[in-house]
Structure 1
Amino acid sequence: MADPQTIKEAFERNRKAIELRPSVGQSTALTKVRVRDGTTCEIESGSKTLVCDVGKIEGGNDAGPGPGIFERSALGSCLAIGYAQQAAVMEVPIDNIEVQVESEFDARGQFGLSDDPPGFKALRYRVMIESSAPEETVRELINKADARSPVLDDFRRPIPVERKVEITSTRVKTS
């Protein structure tokens, strides 16, 4: 398990590398998603693989968490990791970190029954940190981590989305 000193050293090493060469901190990431069995998706990103699916009530195989779970998980884990890193950098002792992410949604848009957007209507997160440090110090680390959270920023700020489509015909040509 990564201890606070290891986390702090890694954070400071990466910060210094990016400070010296900003291009080190700029990159493009690729995640591939392939449907393998009806609705079951195999997700591959670098050496990591995950499975995503929807429940049987939605016609799926229930082979893994659904996309909404991954969205909430991405936010919650990014925040939790940020709190752990900021605590290590600030040398604030932490006994426990938990983040709960709640979403509101209305499925009518997904099924074409409303003109409302099909995605989340609202997101809320609750941060629970156990620490022997003064409350104002813990609040300071939470505020710093929130301000630097990439996934929280992704949810708060509109980002450009571009679509490219490739269609390959599998029809057999007859002469």
Structure 2
Amino acid sequence: MTLINTVSVPESTSDERAARLTEAGAAWGDRIAAKPASAQLTYRVGGAGEGSVATRITAGKHEFVVDEPAALAGDDVAASPVEFALGALISCQVVVYRLYAQALGIRVDEIDISAEGDLDVRRLFGIDESVRAGFSEVRLAVRLSGPESAEKYEELKAAVDAHCPVLDLFANPTPVVVSLSNQ
């Protein structure tokens, strides 16, 4: 069984995108100014095991499957957890590039981002506890097109690097609390 993401993303013009970004930024600014606590969001996502090692994830009204390739005991019906993590980083970067390009008045016609992450599986399989379980390095290649100078795009990159939530997750330690229950 192969699960393919067949979601169609609606096309939008740069004017429509600019209007949505401006409207969202203004609405959040007003909301936070009126009630600072509204800036605090909690995301809830659930998952249940399926197949060999796959997981069906439910995030609000959305559902998707995460799996592993056969070499890592999976059925290879979907991208792996670390591929989804890299995808989350890329997609957050796109959002923040769009948001800050609009805020800074920097025109970006196209955004194309690729990510690579190096992972040593010896820790995963209990072979060597001295290596890190997660990525030892992640590399992003961001390609922007548009009429702006290289300096303007560097200004934009600096703003994105300072404000991207998922980049922050990768770049900084995040406290994680794990609770276990036995039913």
User: TM-score, normalising length from structure 2?
Assistant: 0.86
For the pair 1:44 / 2:58, whether they are aligned, the reply is yes
SS of the counterpart of 1:86?
helix
Alignment of 1:15-26 (within 5 A): 15-26=29-40
In the alignment, what sits opposite 1:61? 75
Q: Which amino acid aligns with 1:164?
A: S
Q: How many residues align?
A: 168
1:19 and 1:50 map into 2 onto residues whose CA distance is 36
In the aligned structure 2, how far is the partner of 1:19 from the partner of 1:63?
45
**Gapped regions of structure 2 (runs ≥ 5):** 1-11
Could you tell me how far apart the structure 2 residues matched to 1:127 and 1:107 are? 27
The match for 1:119 is 134
Matches within 5 A, 1:1-175: 1=12, 2-115=16-129, 116-168=131-183
State the AA in 1 paired with 2:102: A
Give 1:150 shift: 0.7
Superposed CA RMSD in Å reads 1.4
Unaligned runs of 5+ in 1: 169-175
Larger radius of gyration: 1
Write the distance in 2 (CA, Å) between the matches of 1:26 and 1:13.
15
Q: Deviations over 1:109-166 (max 9, x none)?
A: 1111112122111111111100102221221112112101111111111111111111
Indicate conservation of the 8 Å contact 1:97/1:127, yes or no. yes
CA deviation profile, 1:13-42 (whole Å, cap 9, x unmatched): 212322332111102211101012221211
CA drift at 1:58: 2.1
